[in-house]
């Protein structure tokens, strides 16, 4: 498998039946399926219907290896440091329940963070560990200052998103990672809005723990996620989750044993949602073939194109606060316009977007077309005058 530079995006646009039905611009929420993936899953299911788990159409070790290899290349880790789980929330619970903190310690989270990176930390409160929130900022530099100001000698863990889900602002992860590493503070990343949208390099960013879902920038299935735990951290985490697939040589059920798998895949726990794996392999292989870098650049191009169109009709954009950082999440507002009514109006006209913190949020992906974005700007114009 090797990456090629794609110049004609029509080939990708044509793979997505959703383009015949509506303009889906909520790709940082969920993403639709393409026809190649439908075919892959169908082939697998046909094989499964004839030969059950013995089918050769897709085999567990190969699918697992392919997914982990592509993700490992994307985030610059070892294959062994990755586990397929179900969502960010599950990964955050695995990590949070694994830490050994003591009363008086503090965990820092992000203001207005998505609940999947908040609720898993709340159990610590009843153990005397406090939760603090780092204030949001308009720019990545300002946020770095906020983070540095929020850290105290009590701070033991910072768990942060890669990109803010309500504003689209990427955080300066390398600077944050280096700072936290120097302070001896554990850095956990919610990669939901980051992996596949912005470059994530766990080594450069000194990341020890990352969890993210498949169904956003990676175009994968709902209910499948990925957990990264750096090799040297694995045995330091307590592991209250032992399951059939957590132990070494897990295809042999008896006698029971205590020895855990040596890699992060000990968090696979038990029988996997293999149809989703087949789906994910298909979307990852497509992105790998396009090249993750090219895909990201295309998303930025579409986001900038939409942003320009919105500005021309008087919208104020979050992304204008951080012009040196690329994003694929376009968040805007216009004075005097009721944003909830605007979002309903767009939906009624076949445009899927979201309302976040009182603003309208669009997130294009590689299969969107520029004429779709022109149409959105036209609708925004006709609603807002």
Ligand X SMILES: Cc1ncc(COP(=O)(O)O)c(C=O)c1O
Does residue 221 touch ligand X according to CB under 6 A?
no
- Closer to ligand X at the Cβ: 12 or 28? 28
* Phi and psi angles of residue 200, each rounded to the nearest 5 degrees, phi first: -120, 120
If one asks whether residue 213 binds ligand X (CB under 6 A), the answer comes out as yes
**Contact stretch for ligand X (CB under 6 A) within 51-59, 76-84, 86-94, 253-261:** 86-94
Residue 363: which residues within 8 A CB-CB, separation 6 or more? Answer: 25, 26, 27, 28, 29, 168, 303, 328, 329, 330
- Give whichever of 170 and 225 is closer to ligand X, judged by the CB atom: 225
The size of the interface with ligand X (CB under 6 A), counted in residues, is: 14
Of the candidate residues 27, 37, 83, 89, the single one contacting ligand X (CB under 6 A) = 89
Rg (CA), the chain: 22
When the beta carbons of 221 and 309 are compared against ligand X, the nearer one is 221
Q: Which is nearer to ligand X, 114 or 305 (CB)?
A: 114
| Binder of ligand X out of 114, 241, 305, 383 (CB under 6 A) | 114
318 binds ligand X (CB under 6 A): no
Please pick, from the candidates 34, 155, 161, 372, the single residue that binds ligand X as defined by CB under 6 A: 161
Question: Using CB under 6 A as the criterion, what x/- string covers residues 11-50 for binding ligand X?
Answer: ------------------x---------------------
Q: In what order do the strands lie in the sheet with 330-333?
A: 316-317, 330-333, 359-362, 354-356
Figure out which of the listed residues 96, 117, 159, 283 binds ligand X, where binding follows CB under 6 A: 117
Residue closer to ligand X by CB (options 98, 221) is 221
116 is a site residue for ligand X (CB under 6 A): yes
Cβ-based nearer residue to ligand X, 29 or 291: 29
Say whether residue 87 binds ligand X (CB under 6 A): yes
Q: CA-to-CA distance for 135 and 327, rounded, in angstroms? A: 20
- Does residue 363 touch ligand X according to CB under 6 A? no
- Per-residue contact flags (x/-) with ligand X for residues 172 to 191, judged by CB under 6 A: ------------------x-
Q: Is 265 in the site for ligand X (CB under 6 A)?
A: no
Rule CB under 6 A: choose which of 192, 287, 319, 380 binds ligand X.
192
Among 98, 177, 199, 225, binds ligand X (CB under 6 A): 225
Which residue among 66, 193, 294, 368 contacts ligand X (CB under 6 A)? 193
State the residues that interact with ligand X by CB under 6 A: 29, 87-89, 114, 116-117, 161, 165, 190, 192-193, 213, 225
């Amino acid at each position: 498998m090797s990456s090629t530079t794609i110049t004609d995006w029509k080939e990708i646009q044509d793979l997505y039946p959703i383009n015949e039905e509506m303009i889906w611009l909520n790709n940082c929420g969920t993403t639709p399926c393409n026809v190649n993936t439908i075919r892959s899953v169908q082939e697998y299911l046909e094989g499964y219907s004839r030969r059950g788990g013995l089918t050769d159409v897709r085999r567990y070790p190969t699918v697992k290896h392919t997914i982990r290899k592509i993700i490992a290349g994307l985030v610059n880790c070892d294959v062994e440091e990755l586990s397929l789980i179900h969502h960010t929330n599950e990964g955050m619970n695995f990590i949070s329940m694994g830490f050994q903190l003591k009363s008086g310690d503090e965990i820092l989270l992000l203001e207005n963070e998505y609940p999947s990176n908040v609720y898993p930390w709340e159990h610590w409160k009843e153990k005397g560990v406090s939760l603090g929130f780092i204030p949001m900022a308009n720019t990545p530099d300002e946020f770095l200052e906020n983070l540095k100001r929020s850290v105290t000698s009590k701070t033991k863990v910072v768990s942060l998103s890669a990109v803010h889900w309500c504003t689209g602002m990427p955080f300066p992860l390398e600077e944050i990672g280096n700072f936290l590493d120097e302070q001896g503070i554990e850095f956990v990343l919610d990669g939901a809005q980051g992996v596949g949208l912005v470059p994530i390099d766990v080594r450069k960013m000194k990341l020890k723990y990352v969890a993210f879902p498949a169904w956003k920038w990676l175009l994968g299935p709902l209910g499948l996620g990925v957990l990264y735990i750096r090799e040297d951290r694995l045995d330091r985490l307590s592991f209250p989750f032992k399951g059939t697939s957590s132990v070494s040589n897990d295809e042999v059920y008896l006698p029971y044993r205590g020895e855990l798998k040596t890699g992060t895949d000990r968090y696979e726990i038990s029988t996997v949602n293999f149809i989703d794996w087949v789906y994910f392999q298909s979307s990852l292989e497509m992105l790998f073939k396009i090249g993750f870098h090219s895909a990201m650049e295309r998303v930025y191009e579409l986001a900038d194109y939409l942003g320009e169109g919105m500005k021309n009709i008087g919208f104020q954009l979050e992304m204008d606060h951080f012009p040196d950082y690329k994003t694929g999440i376009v968040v805007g507002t216009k004075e005097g316009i009721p944003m909830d009514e605007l979002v309903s109006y767009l939906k009624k006209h076949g445009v899927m977007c979201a309302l976040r913190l009182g603003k309208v949020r669009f997130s294009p992906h590689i299969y969107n077309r520029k004429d779709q974005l022109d149409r959105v700007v036209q609708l925004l114009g006709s609603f807002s005058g």
